[in-house]
Amino acid sequence: MQSDERELGVNLFSCTPPSVGASHREEETPQGDTGNGNPQGESHERVGYKSVIDLGRSAQVPFPHNVAEYPTKILPQVMGAFVERLTVPNELVLDPFCGGGTVAVECALQHRCSLNIDINPVALEVAKQKLQALQTASLFEQNTAVAHQHLVLADARQLPLKSETIDAIVTDIPYADMIRYSSLPSDLSTIEDYDTFLEELLHAFEEMKRVLKKGRYIAIFVADYRIGRSRVILPLHADVIQLMQGLNFDLFDLYVWRYYRSGGFRPFGARPYQAMNVHSYVLVFHKPSDAKPLLKNRPVRYRRRLIEKLSKVNE
């Protein structure tokens, strides 16, 4: 499952079909082991197509994501929904900031292949534990779905990949130094200066653009950086949009994911108080095949009641 960047020769870009027949998590499966490493036959909560994603306070982190801990708020169900939405079975998904391996596990469960890169060896060890748990829980001696998930120690700013080889990218980027994942000098989460962080993040986005096939999609999970002591918010999601559009990506979709904190709620600081964050963003970008003009929507057809209101306002 794990290699380093010097070993990436290989059959990484030719995913062979898995031996297990089922390909989508939403298909009905009998109780017990389904062969994909989920011994309870549990299905994840559904993430629909409304712009606000809210799975409720009772949403749980399912097996095998719960066998090892890594600092993240993202529910696997949410990342898995975008893996499923942006790819079909046997395609290759990249997570250049893989952390604890959420995308790797979700790809195994949905019979996608994945390349999971992180600069932190501790993160890759956590991801390895989760994939091993998935393998151990399977009835099969060799779970081919797990075998097609690759963990690579490398830098997202220098991806060890050929150009236009990736079918989709799903990733949870660092939020500046809001959460420091390691003390490694080359870890983006250790950069204290926000502008410098954005410059380095741009290099990672340039690499993501290079390796992604034309006409395909990137889903970026991101939260804004609230600095309560200075009473300011650094709008990271807006800066990510600006950086990606500067690379000629189209902003295809935008979701707000509502997450739940433990403990009580309180406003920040003194009056006027600042709100407590309970949301993150999922930004979906499209890499166009060719330059295209912006086609405006057809004229809106107003309902009769709204036409009556507008006519009164304009009298």
* Residues 220-254 pLDDT 10s: 999 988 776 677 888 999 999 999 999 999 999 99
How confident is residue 117, by pLDDT bands cut at 50, 70 and 90?
Answer: very high
How far, CA to CA in Å, does 36 sit from each of 43, 44, 131? Answer: 12, 14, 11
Task: Give the pLDDT mean for 68-80.
Answer: 83
Cα three-residue angle 104-109-115, rounded to 5 degrees: 25
Structure tokens at 18: 């898995």
DSSP codes joined into one string, 276-308:
PP-EEEEEEEE--SS----PPPPPP---HHHHH
The three state secondary structure string of 242-269 is HHHHHCCCEEEEEEEEECCCCCCCCCEC
Task: Report the largest interatomic distance among the alpha carbons of the chain, rounded to a whole angstrom.
Answer: 77
- Bridge partner residues of 256 (DSSP): 52, 281
Burial of 279 (0-12, 13-18, 19+ CB in 10 A): middle
Identify whether 185 is preceded by a cis peptide bond (ω within 30 of 0): no
- Residue of higher predicted confidence among 43 and 252: 252
Specify the DSSP element, H or E, that contains 200: helix 194-211
- Residue of higher predicted confidence among 201 and 38: 201
Whether 218 contacts 287, CB under 8 Å: yes
Task: Give the pLDDT mean for 246-264.
Answer: 86
Q: Comparing 89-93, 117-121, 287-291, which segment has the lowest mean pLDDT? A: 287-291
Burial of 141 (0-12, 13-18, 19+ CB in 10 A): exposed
- Residue of higher predicted confidence among 136 and 106: 106
Assess whether pLDDT exceeds 50 at residue 185. yes
Assess whether pLDDT exceeds 50 at residue 41. no
Q: What is the pTM of this model?
A: 0.80
Q: Which among 253, 237, 93 has a CA at the least distance from the CA of 178?
A: 237
Average pLDDT, the chain: 81
Whether 149 contacts 108, CB under 8 Å: yes
Give tens-digit pLDDT for 282-308: 999 999 998 777 788 887 777 888 878
Task: Give the pLDDT mean for 63-76.
Answer: 82
What is the model's pLDDT at position 24? 38
Separation between Cα atoms, residue 108 and residue 66, nearest integer Å: 15
Separation between Cα atoms, residue 225 and residue 90, nearest integer Å: 36
Task: Give the pLDDT mean for 171-199.
Answer: 84
Domain 2-313 of CATH type 3.40.50.1820: no
Structure tokens at 264: 């009580």
What is the model's pLDDT at position 269? 67
Assess whether pLDDT exceeds 90 at residue 75. no
How far, CA to CA in Å, does 76 sit from each of 16, 66, 132, 293? Answer: 25, 10, 17, 36
- Which amino acid type is present at position 298? R
Percentage helix, strand, coil for the chain under 3-state DSSP, each rounded to 5 = 30, 20, 50
What is the model's pLDDT at position 70? 77
User: How much of the chain, in percent, has pLDDT values that exceed 90?
Assistant: 44
What is the model's pLDDT at position 23? 37
What is the model's pLDDT at position 123? 93
- Residue of higher predicted confidence among 75 and 105: 105
Q: Comparing 93-107, 200-214, 230-244, which segment has the lowest mean pLDDT? A: 230-244
Identify whether 64 is preceded by a cis peptide bond (ω within 30 of 0): yes
Task: Give the pLDDT mean for 72-78.
Answer: 83
What is the model's pLDDT at position 25? 40
What is the model's pLDDT at position 279? 86
Q: Comparing 6-15, 32-41, 104-113, which segment has the lowest mean pLDDT? A: 32-41
Q: Comparing 38-52, 63-77, 81-95, which segment has the lowest mean pLDDT? A: 38-52
| E strands in the chain | 2-4, 52-53, 92-95, 113-118, 149-153, 166-172, 212-222, 225-227, 232-234, 250-258, 279-286
User: How much of the chain, in percent, has pLDDT values that exceed 70?
Assistant: 79
